[in-house]
A and B are shown apart, each in its own frame.
Chain A
Amino acid sequence: MHRAFTDEPVSDEDLTQLVYAAGRAPVARPDIRHLVVVTNPRLMRTVRQACPGFINNAPALIAVCSDLEAAERAVGRRGREVVARLDAGAAAGYLTLAAPALGLGVCIVTSWTESAVQEILELPPHIRPEVLVAIGHPVSPSPPAIRRFEPAVHREQFGTPWTHR
Chain B
Amino acid sequence: MDAPLTAEEEIFALALYLISCARLALEEPVIYGSFRLVEGASRLIETAPRLGAEPDDFLTRCREEIEREKVRMIDDADGYRDWLDGLLRRVVAEAARRNLAEAG
Which segment of A16-24, A48-56, A154-162 sits at the interface? A48-56
Inside 8 A of A147's CB, which chain B residues have their CB?
A: 74-75
Q: Are A51 and B75 in contact (CB under 8 A)?
A: no
Q: Flag whether B77 is at the interface (Cβ < 8 A).
A: no
Give every chain A residue within 8 A of B24 (Cβ-Cβ). 52, 111-113
Q: Contact: A112 with B74, CB < 8 Å?
A: no
Asked whether A49 lies within 8 Å of B75 as measured between CB atoms, the reply is no
B21 touches A52 (CB 8 A): yes
A55–B39 touching, CB < 8 Å: yes
Tell yes or no: A101 within 8 A of B by CB.
Answer: no
CB pair B20–A41 under 8 Å, yes or no, is no
Q: A55-B39, A147-B74, A147-B75 are in contact. Are A116 and B20 (CB under 8 A)?
A: yes
A69 CA to B2 CA, complexed, in Å: 39
Which A residues between 27 and 85 are near B, CB-CB below 8 angstroms? 41-42, 45, 49-52, 55
Q: Does A152 contact B (CB under 8 A)?
A: no
Q: What is the number of contacts between chain A and chain B, taking CB atoms within 8 Å? A: 36
Indicate if the CB atoms of B36 and A52 lie closer than 8 Å: yes
- Given the known inter-chain contacts A41-B2, A52-B36, please indicate yes or no for A113 contacting B75, CB distance below 8 A: no
Are A111 and B28 in contact, CB atoms less than 8 angstroms apart? yes
Distance, CA A82 to CA B68, complexed state (A): 37
Residue on A nearest B70 in the bound complex, by CB:
A55
Q: Quick one: given A146-B75, A147-B74, A147-B75, are A112 and B20 in contact (CB under 8 Å)?
A: yes
Given A42-B2, A111-B28, A111-B32, CB of A51 within 8 Å of CB of B71: no
Determine the distance from Cα of A115 to Cα of B21 in the docked complex, in whole angstroms.
Answer: 13
Check B13 against A49 for contact (C-beta < 8 Å). yes
**Interface, chain B (partner A; CB < 8 A):** 2, 13, 16-17, 20-21, 23-24, 27-28, 32, 36, 39, 71, 74-75
Which A residues are closer than 8 A to B by beta carbons? 41-42, 45, 49-52, 55, 111-113, 115-116, 146-147
9 pairs from A and B in contact (CB 8 Å cutoff) = A49-B13, A49-B17, A50-B16, A51-B20, A52-B21, A52-B39, A111-B24, A113-B27, A147-B75
